[in-house]
Amino acid sequence: MIELRTPREIEQMRPAGRFVADVLTQVSAAAKVGVNLLELDALAHRMIKERGAESCYIDYHPSFGASPFGKVICTSVNDAVLHGLPFDYRLQDGDLLSLDFAASVDGWVSDSAVSFVVGNPRGGDRGAADQKLIEATQDALAAGIAAAQPGNKIGDISAAIAAVGHGAGYRINTDFGGHGVGRTMHGDPHVPNDGRKGRGFPLKPGLVIAIEPWFLETTDEIFTDPDGWTLRSADGSRGAHSEHTVAITEDGPLVLTARD
C-alpha cells in the first residue's frame, strides 16, 4: 500500500534523515586503508545506540536474504554493489567502497548510500573508470531527484536515471531499485532504475521514496555471495551505488538525507 505523509509527518522525518546522513559522513571518514569492515559496522552500531535510534538492518530477513542480516550497515567492496554484509576484511588502497545505511528515529525511517574510493584512487585506467562509475551514480541520483516533481510519475524518475546510466555506457539491472520509505525501510512504490516517462504511480505531495541508482562497470548481471546477502557483479567488474530519501512536496523534492 502506498501511503502519503502530511507536511507535519515529513517534518517529523527530518531527524531520521539527518541522523542517517551523519552516520554515513562519519563512517565514510573512518573508512581508511587498513580499517576493518567490522570496525565500520561497530562505529555505526555505536552511533545508533548513542542516538537512541533503531537499526533497520540487524533483524532484517526478507525472502532474498539467507538469514537475518545481523549487522547495521551494508559495506560493499569492489565487485560487490548491494547488501554487502560486513566481514573480517581490511580496506586496501584503491578499494571502491559503497556504504548503505538505514535507521529509524522516533518511528520514522530514512535510507541513504554513498560510494567512494578508499585511500588514494589508483592512477591510469582503473582510477578513471572508478571515478566515472561513481560519478555516474551521483549524476543519475541528481537527475532522479530533479524529476521527482509533483505531477510527474515514477517512470519520469526511472527514465531520468536510465538516461544518465545508458549515456555513460552502462547496462542497468532492475531487480533492485528505489522504494517507498516511512515507518518501515521498504514499502511501495518500487522505483526502478530504468523506465518510461509518463508511466507508473503519480508523484503526489506527501510521497516519500528512496531513489537509488546503482551501476556495474561492464555487466547488468549479479549473483549472491555465499554469505547469503552480498550481491556481486557476474563478471567481477566494479559497482557503485548512490541513494537519498526524498519527500515529494508542493514545492518540489525535499532531500531528507542530504549530507553536509
pLDDT at 260: 81
| pLDDT value for 66 | 87
Task: Check residue 135 and give its pLDDT.
Answer: 98
Dihedral angle sign, alpha carbons of residues 200, 211, 71, 109? negative
- pLDDT tens by residue, the chain, 260 residues: 899 999 999 999 999 999 999 999 999 999 999 999 999 999 999 999 999 999 999 999 988 888 999 999 999 999 999 999 999 999 999 999 999 999 999 999 999 999 999 998 766 677 789 999 999 999 999 999 999 999 999 999 999 999 999 999 999 999 999 999 999 999 999 999 999 999 999 999 999 999 999 999 999 999 999 999 999 999 999 999 999 999 999 999 999 999 98
Annotated binding residue at 260?
no
The dihedral built from the CA positions of residue 217, 181, 85 and 98, taken in this order, carries a sign that is positive
Q: Where are the alpha helices (DSSP H) in the chain?
A: 7-30, 37-51, 124-146, 154-167
pLDDT for 167? 98
Residues 6+ apart with CB under 8 A from 107: 183
Instruction: Flag whether 212 is marked binding.
Output: yes
Residue 63's pLDDT is 87
CA distance 187 to 175: 15
214 conformational bin, left if phi > 0, alpha if psi -120 to 50, beta if neither: beta
- The verdict on whether residue 179 carries a ligand-binding annotation is yes
Rounded to whole angstroms, how far apart are CA atoms 243 and 93?
A: 24
190 is in an annotated binding site: no
Provide the angle, in degrees to the nearest 10, between the axes of the packed helices 7-30 and 37-51: 140
Q: Per the confidence metrics, is the pTM higher than 0.85?
A: yes
Is 243 marked as binding a ligand? yes
137: nearest Cα among 178, 179, 104, 101: 178
Cα-based torsion angle of the residue sequence 14, 15, 18, 24 in order, rounded to the nearest 10 degrees: -130
Residue 125 has a pLDDT of: 75
**Domain residue ranges of the chain, discontinuous segments joined by +:** 7-255
Q: How many CB atoms lie within 10 A of CB 157?
A: 31
140: which 3 cell numbers?
A: 543519475
Exposure string of 199-227, with b = 16+ CB inside 10 Å and e = fewer, is ebbebebbbbbbbbbbbbbebbebeebee
Evaluate whether 189 touches 154 at the Cβ level (below 8 Å).
yes
Peptide bond into 189 cis (omega under 30): yes
Q: What is the pLDDT of residue 124?
A: 64
Pick the CATH number of 7-255 from 3.40.1500.10, 3.30.450.40, 3.40.190.10, 3.90.230.10: 3.90.230.10
CA distance 210 to 246: 6
